[in-house]
Structure 1
Amino acid sequence: MYADTKKCTFDGESQFADLAAEVFTLLSDATRVRIILALRDGEKSVNDLAEAVGKSPTVVSQHLAKLRWGRIVAARPEGNRAFYTLIDEHARELVAHAVFQAQHVVSGAPAHHRAADGTVTADVPPSTTAEVSGGDQ
């Protein structure tokens, strides 16, 4: 088993509980989840993101505004375009773990619980640096 190097020491009375719920609210939209997945490899323009998530640039811009408000993404202007990037690894990891959890809904032994030889393991990766894709990850 892997040791959890980022133990949460906050209790239910923490001032961060309400803010954490707001983060989950921001991440509760499939388009925003897809945007975060598209940004995990680096910055992208609105048009690149629109193509990646299958939505119009206008729709993607509206979602990016919410993600900027939640300090999940940052914009870097360049001429008349803006390039977006994830501010830190936390949203990416939350989304990756949500995808891993979703895999449990459709598969009793999802790929992220399989060893390289295909055998099922109870170990969970210590971080989400492993790629999460639309495939069998």
Structure 2
Amino acid sequence: MTAGRRGPLDMDAETVERVSQLFKALSDPTRLRILSLLFHRECAVNQIAEALGLKQSTVSHQLRLLKNFQLVKCRRQGTTIFYSHADRHVVDVLHQMIEHAQHD
């Protein structure tokens, strides 16, 4: 084990459950596509829907779930709500998972 890193046995039950739920949230292809887009730029719901070829209602539903898991954050500008990734840690984890998936 690397110095300064905790092993899986060091996690308490609450942490194990939280990590498990986050992986479940990330397991949906639509949510992954939304997060990937938001890693590159802040977007409103209609921009996400257009960029990914999805219905606005689908995007809104997925954003609500991502927000509940604190994976995205939002800000209001007038009547428009803009979304972005909430945490650089998630960006790093997903980049590592993408590299792992693409590794031969």
SS in 1 for 2:40: coil
Among all aligned residue pairs of Structure 1 and Structure 2, give the percentage whose two residues are the same amino acid.
30
Matches within 5 A, 1:10-29: 10-12=7-9, 13-14=11-12, 15-29=14-28
- Correspondence for 2:102: 103
Unaligned runs of 5+ in 1: 109-137
What's the CA shift string for 1:46-84, capped at 9, x where partnerless? 111112222111101100000000001111112222100
- How far is 1:33 from its partner? 0.6
TM-score by length of 2: 0.85
**Aligned partners of 1:50, 1:11: CA distance in 2, in Å?**
38
- Correspondence for 1:120: none
The two structures, once aligned, show a CA RMSD in angstroms of 1.9
- Correspondence for 1:74: 73
SS in 2 for 1:94: helix
CA contact (8 A) 1:50 1:60 kept: yes
- The structure number with the bigger radius of gyration is 1
AA aligned to 1:80 is T
Matches within 5 A, 1:20-99: 20-99=19-98
CA contact (8 A) 1:36 1:95 kept: no
Unaligned runs of 5+ in 2: none
TM-score by length of 1: 0.66
**Aligned partners of 2:51, 2:42: CA distance in 1, in Å?**
13
CA contact (8 A) 1:45 1:81 kept: yes
- Bigger helix share: 2
- Correspondence for 2:5: 8
Distance change (3 Å), C-alpha of 1:11 and 1:99 = closer
